[in-house]
Chains A and B, each alone.
Chain A
Amino acid sequence: AQKVTQAQTEISVVEKEDVTLDCVYETRDTTYYLFWYKQPPSGELVFLIRRNSFDEQNEISGRYSWNFQKSTSSFNFTITASQVVDSAVYFCALKTVSSGSARQLTFGSGTQLTVLP
């Protein structure tokens, strides 16, 4: 069975601060995929990033960066120079690849990020 834990329920920062959202996952599979989705107040789920378990290279994309650490089963997400429009619920999600396993996503409970002006 797989599990995703987002220990931070709510985070508030002031605009232009950097903020890191934590995600810890559990799976027995050796091949799996991790995702971050953003859910703004309007409700839609927006795909942000996917990382493969066999690729530990971390990335930076504009103001977003990701830190994937297999040794600690963590997949943290950082927003640099946060903006008010970044205010949303951020979900970390896991998908595994074992034979017969389903393709559905297992989500964490989400972190509500509020960026204050």
Chain B
Amino acid sequence: AAGVIQSPRHLIKEKRETATLKCYPIPRHDTVYWYQQGPGQDPQFLISFYEKMQSDKGSIPDRFSAQQFSDYHSELNMSSLELGDSALYFCASSLVRGSPRNQETQYFGPGTRLLVL
């Protein structure tokens, strides 16, 4: 079965540079979530999109922005990178439409490992 695709898998940037991470959800999934996992930490929710509209916002820095496109893929744009942004960035997708009582399951991509030097 098709899974969530993330690109690139690894990214090295310098401080103050910008980065763009891409996420392609499971086909027919309508919701995308972004999470950030620092070294030795649990994943922290950043932002989500349902049907191309931002649905929820977590602890996403103002330097970051994201959007979901008409083909449902999503991009996380990160500017003025800082050393503390080094982390594993996960995208997850789910099918919310028709899911009773909010019980849909989020399936995660393999992650993008970002290293800021």
Contacts and interface: CB of A to CB of B under 8 A. Distances in A.
B108 A103 contact: no
Contacts of B65: none
A47 B105 contact: yes
A8 to B, nearest CB: 14
Classify chain A's interface size: 20 to 34
Interface stretch (A12-20, A63-71, A75-83, A107-115): A107-115
Contact of B48 (A50, A52, A104, A107): A104
Interface stretch (B13-21, B69-77, B78-86, B96-104): B96-104
Interface residues of B, number: 29
A50 B42 contact: no
A104 B92 CA distance: 10
B110 interface: yes
A33 B103 contact: yes
A105 B113 contact: no
Name the residue in B42, B58, B106 with the highest tally of chain A Cβ atoms < 10 Å from its Cβ: B42
B76 to A, nearest CB: 15
Interface string A85-117: 000000100010100001111111110000000
25 contacts: A31-B101, A33-B102, A42-B110, A43-B110, A43-B111, A44-B110, A45-B90, A45-B92, A45-B108, A50-B103, A91-B43, A95-B102, A97-B101, A97-B102, A102-B48, A103-B31, A103-B56, A103-B96, A104-B48, A104-B56, A104-B58, A105-B43, A105-B106, A107-B42, A108-B42
Interchain residue pairs A-B with the least CB separation, the first 3: A102-B56, A104-B45, A45-B108
Interface of A: 31, 33, 35, 37, 42-47, 50, 52, 91, 95, 97, 102-110
Interface of B: 31, 33, 35, 41-45, 48, 55-56, 58, 88, 90, 92, 94, 96, 101-111, 113
